[in-house]
Chains A and B, each alone.
Chain A
Amino acid sequence: MAKTIIDAHNVTKTYNPEKVPVYAVQDVHVHIEEGEFVALVGPSGSGKSTLLNMMGGLDEPTKGSVIIDGVELTELSENKLIDFRLHNIGFVFQAFNLIPVLTAKENVGFVLQLQHMPKKEREKRVLSLLEEVDLEDKIDSKPGELSGGQQQRIAVARALASKPKIILADEPTANLDSKSAANLLNIMAKLNKEENITFLFSTHDQRVIKKARRVITLVDGKVDSDVQQTPT
């Protein structure tokens, strides 16, 4: 059996607990194993982003615990948590993921620089990452000179840079046309297969959902269904 990479236990997030409480996520239990390719779906406001943020250590659960690769996130100090994210979790957000003043190459290398990787090694790795997302010809372009799909692919390359255990992506295709979305998903699926990187991504898009091998559906902050499927 593969090992558990994400273990969300009893996770609850309540906004405004004093005034008008919003139960964004309630008592969610989710186990995700290494190498899974999971879509998180559900209607708008169902708690997808909130749950993803808590799993990435960007937000603290009101109750419950999130254990990533055996590490209980709520027990880490702020700086330890930032370091943990740097080394273990890759993030892709909906849009504007990149630092606008840096080139594609510099954006991807940024994470490696934060990890103090020597320049030579870093440049090699950045180049191979950009090849993985088919953008080796855009290394010196700034984000403003790239299409939305290209920017998202660079964001994926950056998320990969530190060789994280998991990549969390909150609606990575929401701002893309269907061709770019399919292209991004194919790259993600390839990385998942070839490098055994665990992906957990939220989406509204039926065509994206079809590519997942497991679909977790949230409704009103609760897990409504959790099914395995064969991607098409």
Chain B
Amino acid sequence: MLLKLAWLNIWRNKRRTIITATSVFFAVLLAITFRSLTDGIYDNMIHNVVSYSTGYLQIQQTGYWDEQSIDNTFEEDENLYQELLKNPNVENIIPRLQSFALASYTDKTKGVLVLGIDPDKEKGVNNLHEKITEGKFIEAPNENAVVLGEGLASKLKLGINDTLVLLGQGYHASSAAAKYRVKGLVKLGAIDLNNSVVYIPLKQAQYMYGAEDRLSSVSIMPNKTTDLQGLKRSIQETIDPEKYEVMTWKEMLSELDQFIEADKTGHFIIIAVLYIIISFGLFGTLLMMLFERKHELGILIAIGMKKHLLAIILLLESVMISLIGCFAGIIGGILVVKWFTIYPIRLTGEIEQVYEDYGIESILYFSSEEKIFIVQTLIVLVLSILLAFYPGYKVMRLKPVEAINS
């Protein structure tokens, strides 16, 4: 009965209800589109960054992160790989051996980051091999060849097929030295990396550093990135916790994480302002619905209706009006997000250049995570309930005689 009355009541003034619901609709639509776009951009950004660096999760020997030396590496372990790949949420694993060295060509010498990689496994997670601007990418894990960041190559003034000498400290203070043919150059978005990285086949790196079969890390790419903490825990349960440490990208790339969080706070404020504006509209409607019905409410109290039932009716009216708008907004939002997933926005001009420079695809992705939709619904629901408190309070204090005479 209460539901029916509330439903009938909101349509007493169709125009007002439609206007109010429409304002909720636009707020929800905007909020969803906005959140979906920004989350999509962040996800894309994170994916781009972590796929070249840490992965979403990374396994290291305990203590490696604090002291990233070749001595803190661990022995490659087929069992570890198997345990990891058994986890249904792990899609790819990328073993790497990483250390520092001096690189020289003719009379130039530079400190470089040496990344020993398995070219096949890298291909599964990033498109490093497509970033080649000259020459070719390394193919076999033991090929005698290296690929350099373009920036580094130009500093060393070297080109394809030149021979690069690497010199460094190997495992347990052995000395590491080797010569490699430069097979290709890559252009990387991250400027630091572009100016300092030398990609080298994993086996070659292990050989050079005297660290046969040793790895500094195994990066993990999950098939869904929403519950990294959960994945981290489930991985920790399957591997030796004394020996290995599992970290998420947020722990390793805390600057990126902080940047995103700060940016999100800004967006949160924008959305909050949006909702505050529609709250005023909804509140006004609720007050009008209360005041123009005072006489009727007084009669209902007189003939024996308890005030709290009337307050519930007002609450239901508020929730109904806003949920109509909210659901319409969600449907609209889903359509917008679907549309842009099928026909993504390609950035053009200068922005495209900026994105490309940072090695991020110049496409705006929209996130279609359910959370975005659920959160908007909850916000609207909570708002409509909170806003109904005042009219509800007014009803509880209504004196039947005064109400009937108004």
Contact = CB atoms under 8 A, between A and B. Distances in A.
B12 A79 contact: no
Nearest to A84: B304
A113 B45 CA distance: 60
Interface residue tally of chain B, by bracket?
A: 20 to 34
Interface stretch (B14-22, B192-200, B246-254, B293-301): B293-301
A168 to B, nearest CB: 10
A85 B295 contact: no
A4 to B, nearest CB: 23
Given A53-B401, A58-B400, A58-B401, A99 B302 contact: no
B303 A85 contact: yes
Given A93-B404, A101-B9, A101-B12, A162 B304 contact: yes
A61 interface: no
Interface in A67-114: 78-79, 82-83, 85-87, 90-91, 93, 96-97, 99-102, 110-111, 113-114
Interface in B378-406: 399-401, 404
B157 interface: no
Contacts of B9: 101
A113 B304 contact: no
Nearest to B10: A101
A113 B1 CA distance: 8
A57 B401 CA distance: 10
B3 interface: no
B306 interface: yes
6 contacts: A56-B302, A85-B302, A87-B304, A91-B303, A99-B5, A101-B5
B302 A58 contact: yes
B190 interface: no
Contacts of B305: 82, 86, 114
Contacts of A56: 302
Interface of B: 1, 5, 8-9, 11-12, 295-296, 299-307, 399-401, 404
A134 interface: no
A140 interface: no
Contacts of B8: 101-102
A222 interface: no
B11 to A, nearest CB: 8
Contacts of B400: 58-59
B304 A158 contact: no
Main secondary structure of the interface of B (DSSP, over half): helix
Contacts of B5: 99, 101-102
A139 B301 CA distance: 24
A141 to B, nearest CB: 15
Interface of A: 53, 56, 58-59, 78-79, 82-83, 85-87, 90-91, 93, 96-97, 99-102, 110-111, 113-114, 158-159, 162
A97 B404 CA distance: 9
Given A87-B304, A114-B305, A99 B296 contact: yes
A59 B401 contact: yes
Contacts of A79: 306
Given A96-B295, A101-B8, A101-B12, A158 B303 contact: yes
Contacts of A113: 1
A148 B399 CA distance: 26
Looking at B295, B303, B306, B401, the one whose CB has the most chain A CB atoms below 10 A away is B303
B401 A86 contact: no
B303 A111 contact: yes
A82 B307 CA distance: 9
> Most chain-A Cβ atoms within 10 A of its Cβ — which of B296, B301, B304, B305?
B304
Contacts of A101: 5, 8-9, 11-12
Nearest to B295: A96
B300 A86 contact: no
B332 to A, nearest CB: 29
Contact of A93 (B11, B299, B301, B307): B299
A162 B399 CA distance: 23
Contacts of A158: 303
B2 to A, nearest CB: 10
A75 B9 CA distance: 35
Contacts of A93: 299, 302, 404
B304 A83 contact: yes
B296 A82 contact: no
Contacts of B299: 91, 93, 96-97
